[in-house]
């Protein structure tokens, strides 16, 4: 009797663990954005800031002769590229469709 109880508890535990690890995304049949206006504003402005920083950090790489400045600018570029990639992934995961560009003000 104790063995059957132990086996049943073990099976129930395995079923519960399996159900907790299921990370399916809900279906979005109407393809509407899953973020509100503030979230959309954050995603767009953060992406624009990252693209602006990538563009700005290209200037010291092409114009400076100091290796420390060039290395720092390259690190800034790599970090902001990672940031922009993560923001683009967030946008696609939340069905946000907007152009990634730098505005005229930041140009």
Residue 27 lies in a domain: no
Tokens of 70: 């060039």
Residue 26 maps to a domain = no
Q: Is the pLDDT reported for residue 57 higher than 80?
A: yes
In a domain, 58, yes or no: yes
Determine, yes or no, domain membership for 28: no
Are residues 51 and 100 in contact, defined by beta-carbon separation less than 8 angstroms? yes
Which range of residues forms the domain containing residue 102? 34-107
Report helix, strand and coil shares of the chain as percent, to nearest 5.
70, 0, 30
Total structural domains in the chain? 1
Spatial separation of the C-alpha atoms in residues 10 and 13, rounded to whole Å: 5
Asked if the structure places residue 50 within a domain, the reply is: yes
Tell me which range, 6-10, 41-45, 94-98, is most confidently predicted by mean pLDDT: 41-45
- DSSP-derived 3-state class of residue 106: coil
Query: pLDDT (tens digit, 9 = 90+) per residue, 19-31?
Result: 666 555 556 566 6
- Look up tokens 């395995």; give the residue: 14
Average pLDDT (73-87) is: 93
pLDDT value, residue 102: 77
d(CA 15, CA 9): 10
pLDDT band at 69 (very low <50, low <70, confident <90, very high): very high
Q: Evaluate whether residue 23 is within a structural domain.
A: no
Average pLDDT, the chain: 81
Higher pLDDT, residue 97 or 47: 47
- Report which of residues 6 and 61 the model is more confident about: 61
Task: Classify residue 74: in a domain, yes or no.
Answer: yes
């Amino acid at each position: 009797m104790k063995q059957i109880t132990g086996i049943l508890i073990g099976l129930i535990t395995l079923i519960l663990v399996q159900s907790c690890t299921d990370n399916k995304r809900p279906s979005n049949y109407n393809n509407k954005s899953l973020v509100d206006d503030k979230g959309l504003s954050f995603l767009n402005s953060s992406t624009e800031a990252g693209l602006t920083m990538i563009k700005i950090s290209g200037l010291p790489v092409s114009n400076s002769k100091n290796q420390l400045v060039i290395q720092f600018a390259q690190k800034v570029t790599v970090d902001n590229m990672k940031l922009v990639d993560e923001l683009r992934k967030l946008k696609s995961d939340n069905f946000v469709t907007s152009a990634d560009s730098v505005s005229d003000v930041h140009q």
